[in-house]
C-alpha cells in the first residue's frame, strides 16, 4: 500500500528506502494524452498520479436510484478490470480513497455536462444531471480500458488532472434497420453497449419495411404472424414481442440512450400489405417480399381502415416508448401520388400528436403540412438536394454520402451498397453538420444520425464490420467542437481503439489508413 507508507517517510529513513521501491507507478498516458473518443472539450493534466489500489469505494451523495445503479455497474466494471472489489457508500464524512458521484447543477447549462477530476487518492465525477454523471463514468471507463490494453501487466495507475466536458449536439444518433434482416434482442443490446461507450444518445429503430414487420401489434396480430416471418434472401425473419421491446427500451435508458421507433409509411409497407388484404386498394393481400428493391408499395390512402391501422400501430408503440419522438418514415413513397401522400401524412401527423409524440420523418415529409416541431431527417446525397426545408423545422443530418454506415468503404468491401458512393473512414469523419448542406440554417440542426440499413447484413459480425470504426468518428462529430477536431489527431487516437474493439470481440473493419496499435 504505497500511498499509505508515503505518509510515514519523513520519520524513518528505513521506511523511506522501502518506499522508493514502491512509489506510485507512472501512468501509461498523461491525462492529455489518453486517446479518448470523443475528444473532451477541456483537459488539464496535473502532476498527481492515482494508484488504482488507492480506490476502495464508490460514494453516492444524492441517493438516487439511477445513480446507485450506475455506481453498481461501475463497481462491476472495476472488478472485471482491476480484480478489486469496491464498497458502495451513500455517506462519508471525508472524500478520499473513493470515486465520488454527484450532481452539480451549476456545472453548465448543458444537461450532459460533466467534470472528471483525478487526484492522488480520489476520483470525483460531477454531472449537471444524472446523464452527465453517466457520460463522465463512460470517460473514466474508456480511460481505464485504453490504459490497461496498452499497459498490459504494468497498468496500475491513472494520470491526475481534470476533464471538463459537454457535447456540441443534443441528438447524436444511430439507426438500425431490423426489417431487412432481423436481429435478436441480445444483438441489439450489444449494439447499445457499444453506442454507450462513445456517448451516442439516440437509437432509431427501423421496425417495418417491405421485407418484414418486426414489432408485435396486439390489435393486428397477423403483422408479425405473417409479415414478420421472412427477410431479405428468404430467411426466417422474426419480431420483437412488446415485452422484448420494453426490455430494449429499458436497457437503452439505463445507458441514457433514447429509443426512436419508426414505422415507415405509406410506402415501404409490403409486409403489412401481405398480412392484411384490406389495407390494399384492390382488397388483395400482396406476396411477401425478400428482394432489395425500394419504392413499389403503398398503403391505400382513401380507405378508413388504413387510418384505424395507423392509429392502432402508433398508439400501441407509443404506449411502450417513453422517448419524445415517433418516426413515421415517409421516404421513397414512389407509387403514392404526391397529393395522396400529403393527405395521408396530414392525417397521420394528427394521430402522432394525439398520442403526445413529436413527429419525426425522412425529409420527403416536407410536401405535407407539417407542424413546426416536426423533426426532419435529411438523408439525400448533399449535391442533389433542391427542396426547400421549412424555416421552423428541426433537422437531423444523415447525409447518405457521409453518414450511411451501409455504404461500402471501398470497391472491395464484401458487404454493403454503394449508391451514395464509397465512404472511407476519413470521409465519414471529416465533415461538419452545420456546413455540409448548403441552404440549411445551422440553427435548425439539432444533431446527426448514422443509419445502418441491413439489406446485406445478416449477423452481428456484419453489423460490426460496417459500423466500426465509422460510427466512432460519427460519435465524435456529434460531441466534439468542430474547431477542436483534426483528422490526424483523430486517426492517432482511433489507432488505440482497435485493441479496445478486439477485446470486446467486435468484428471491426481494420482500415489500412490507420496505424492500429
* Binding to ligand TNX, residues 132-171 (CB under 6 A): none
Is residue 458 close enough to count as binding ligand TNX by CB under 6 A? no
Is residue 68 close enough to count as binding ligand TNX by CB under 6 A? no
- Residues in binding contact with ligand TNX, number by CB under 6 A: 10
- Nearer to ligand TNX among residue 455 and residue 476 (C-beta): 455
Least distance from C-beta 429 to ligand TNX, angstroms?
A: 20
Backbone angles phi, psi at 102, to 5 degrees: -150, 155
Q: What is the rounded distance in angstroms from the CA atom of residue 348 to the CA atom of residue 125?
A: 44
Is residue 406 close enough to count as binding ligand TNX by CB under 6 A? yes
Among residues 332, 350, 449, 476, the one annotated as catalytic is 332
Least distance from C-beta 130 to ligand TNX, angstroms?
A: 33
- Nearer to ligand TNX among residue 134 and residue 404 (C-beta): 404
DSSP string, 455-509: TT--SHHHHHHHHTTHHHHHHHHHHS-GGG--HHHHHHHHHTHHHHHHHTT----
Q: Is 513 one of the annotated active-site residues of the chain?
A: no
Q: Which of 101, 114, 96, 200 is nearest to 162 (CA)?
A: 114
Per-residue binder mask for ligand TNX (CB under 6 A), 280-319, x = binder: --------------x-------------------------
Q: What is the rounded distance in angstroms from the CA atom of residue 314 to the CA atom of residue 325?
A: 11
Task: Please report how the helices 242-253 and 185-197 are oriented relative to each other, as an axis angle in degrees rounded to 10.
Answer: 10
- Nearer to ligand TNX among residue 145 and residue 456 (C-beta): 456
Question: What sign results for the dihedral spanned by CA atoms 145, 146, 148, 149?
Answer: positive
Least distance from C-beta 455 to ligand TNX, angstroms?
A: 6
For ligand TNX, the binding residue among 2, 15, 417, 436 (CB under 6 A) is 417
Is residue 362 close enough to count as binding ligand TNX by CB under 6 A? yes
- Nearer to ligand TNX among residue 183 and residue 453 (C-beta): 453
- Nearer to ligand TNX among residue 331 and residue 449 (C-beta): 331
Q: Where are the alpha helices (DSSP H) in 12-64?
A: 13-20
Question: What sign results for the dihedral spanned by CA atoms 434, 439, 441, 444?
Answer: negative
The answer for residues whose C-beta is within 8 angstroms of residue 270's C-beta and 6 or more apart is 209, 210, 211, 286, 288, 289, 296, 297
Least distance from C-beta 288 to ligand TNX, angstroms?
A: 17
> What is the β-pairing status of strands 87-89 and 57-60?
parallel
* Binding to ligand TNX, residues 382-401 (CB under 6 A): none
Is residue 341 close enough to count as binding ligand TNX by CB under 6 A? no
> What is the β-pairing status of strands 394-397 and 87-89?
unpaired
For ligand TNX, the binding residue among 134, 205, 378, 379 (CB under 6 A) is 379
Are 237 and 231 in contact by the 8 Å Cβ rule? The answer is: yes
For the chain, give the number of residues: 517
- Nearer to ligand TNX among residue 379 and residue 465 (C-beta): 379
**Strand boundaries in 78-120, DSSP class E:** 87-89, 98-103, 114-118
- Nearer to ligand TNX among residue 16 and residue 294 (C-beta): 294
Is residue 111 close enough to count as binding ligand TNX by CB under 6 A? no
CA distances (Å), 404 to each of 71, 119, 196, 467, in order? Answer: 35, 41, 19, 9
Are 275 and 262 in contact by the 8 Å Cβ rule? The answer is: no
Least distance from C-beta 233 to ligand TNX, angstroms?
A: 14
- Nearer to ligand TNX among residue 196 and residue 401 (C-beta): 401
Are 38 and 60 in contact by the 8 Å Cβ rule? The answer is: no
Q: What is the rounded distance in angstroms from the CA atom of residue 478 to the CA atom of residue 173?
A: 9
- Nearer to ligand TNX among residue 27 and residue 416 (C-beta): 416
C-alpha cell at 232: 431479405
Is residue 332 close enough to count as binding ligand TNX by CB under 6 A? yes
For ligand TNX, the binding residue among 134, 191, 325, 453 (CB under 6 A) is 453
Least distance from C-beta 41 to ligand TNX, angstroms?
A: 32
Least distance from C-beta 340 to ligand TNX, angstroms?
A: 19
C-alpha cell at 478: 456529434
For ligand TNX, the binding residue among 165, 316, 331, 462 (CB under 6 A) is 331
Least distance from C-beta 375 to ligand TNX, angstroms?
A: 14
Task: Please report how the helices 185-197 and 130-151 are oriented relative to each other, as an axis angle in degrees rounded to 10.
Answer: 90
Residues that bind ligand TNX (CB under 6 A): 294, 331-332, 362, 379, 404, 406, 417, 453, 455
Task: Write out the catalytic residue numbers.
Answer: 332
Amino acid at each position: 500500500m504505497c500511498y499509505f507508507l508515503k505518509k510515514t517517510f519523513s520519520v524513518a529513513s528505513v521506511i523511506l528506502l522501502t518506499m522508493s521501491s514502491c512509489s506510485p507507478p507512472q501512468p501509461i498516458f498523461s491525462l492529455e494524452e489518453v486517446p479518448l473518443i470523443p475528444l473532451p472539450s477541456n483537459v488539464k493534466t496535473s502532476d498527481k498520479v492515482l494508484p488504482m489500489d488507492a480506490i476502495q469505494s464508490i460514494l453516492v451523495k444524492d441517493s438516487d436510484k439511477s445513480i446507485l445503479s450506475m455506481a453498481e455497474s461501475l463497481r462491476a466494471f472495476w472488478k472485471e478490470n482491476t480484480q478489486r472489489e469496491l464498497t458502495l457508500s451513500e455517506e462519508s464524512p471525508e472524500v478520499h480513497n473513493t470515486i465520488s458521484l454527484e450532481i452539480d447543477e451549476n456545472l453548465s447549462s448543458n444537461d450532459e455536462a460533466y467534470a472528471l477530476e483525478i487526484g492522488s487518492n480520489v476520483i470525483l465525477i460531477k454531472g449537471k444531471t444524472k446523464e452527465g454523471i453517466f457520460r463522465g463514468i463512460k470517460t473514466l471507463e474508456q480511460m481505464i480500458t485504453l490504459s490497461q490494453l496498452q499497459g498490459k501487466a504494468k497498468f496500475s495507475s491513472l494520470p491526475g488532472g481534470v476533464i471538463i466536458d459537454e457535447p456540441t449536439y443534443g441528438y447524436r444518433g444511430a439507426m438500425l434497420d431490423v426489417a431487412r434482416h432481423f436481429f435478436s434482442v441480445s444483438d441489439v443490446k450489444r449494439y447499445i453497449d457499444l453506442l454507450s461507450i462513445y456517448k451516442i444518445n439516440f437509437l432509431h429503430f427501423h421496425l417495418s419495411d417491405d421485407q418484414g414487420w418486426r414489432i408485435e401489434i396486439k390489435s393486428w396480430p397477423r403483422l408479425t404472424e405473417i409479415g414478420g416471418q421472412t427477410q431479405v434472401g428468404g430467411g426466417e425473419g422474426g419480431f420483437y414481442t412488446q415485452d422484448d421491446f420494453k426490455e430494449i427500451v429499458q436497457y437503452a435508458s439505463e445507458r441514457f440512450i433514447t429509443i426512436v421507433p419508426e414505422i415507415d409509411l405509406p410506402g415501404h409497407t409490403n409486409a403489412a400489405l401481405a398480412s392484411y388484404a384490406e389495407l390494399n386498394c384492390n382488397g388483395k393481400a400482396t406476396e411477401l417480399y425478400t428482394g432489395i428493391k425500394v419504392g413499389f408499395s403503398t398503403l391505400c390512402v382513401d380507405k378508413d381502415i388504413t387510418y384505424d391501422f395507423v392509429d392502432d400501430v402508433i398508439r400501441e408503440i407509443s404506449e411502450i416508448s417513453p422517448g419524445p419522438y415517433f418516426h413515421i418514415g415517409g421516404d421513397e413513397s414512389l407509387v403514392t401520388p404526391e397529393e395522396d401522400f400529403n393527405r395521408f401524412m396530414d392525417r397521420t401527423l394528427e394521430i402522432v400528436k394525439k398520442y403526445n409524440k413529436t413527429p419525426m420523418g425522412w425529409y420527403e415529409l416536407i410536401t405535407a403540412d407539417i407542424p413546426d416541431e416536426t423533426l426532419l431527417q435529411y438523408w439525400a446525397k448533399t449535391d442533389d438536394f433542391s427542396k426547400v426545408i421549412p424555416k421552423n423545422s428541426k433537422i437531423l443530418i444523415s447525409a447518405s454520402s457521409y453518414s450511411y454506415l451501409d455504404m461500402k468503404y471501398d470497391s472491395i468491401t464484401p458487404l454493403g451498397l454503394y449508391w451514395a458512393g464509397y465512404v472511407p473512414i476519413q470521409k465519414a469523419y471529416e465533415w461538419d453538420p452545420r456546413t455540409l448542406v448548403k441552404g440549411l440554417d445551422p440553427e435548425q440542426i439539432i444533431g446527426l444520425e448514422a443509419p445502418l440499413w441491413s439489406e446485406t447484413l445478416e449477423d452481428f459480425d456484419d453489423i460490426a464490420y460496417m459500423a466500426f470504426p465509422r460510427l466512432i468518428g460519427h460519435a465524435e462529430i456529434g460531441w466534439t467542437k468542430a474547431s477542436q477536431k483534426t483528422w490526424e489527431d483523430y486517426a492517432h487516437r482511433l489507432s488505440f481503439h482497435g485493441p479496445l474493439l478486439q477485446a470486446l470481440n467486435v468484428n471491426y473493419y481494420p482500415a489500412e489508413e490507420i496505424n492500429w496499435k
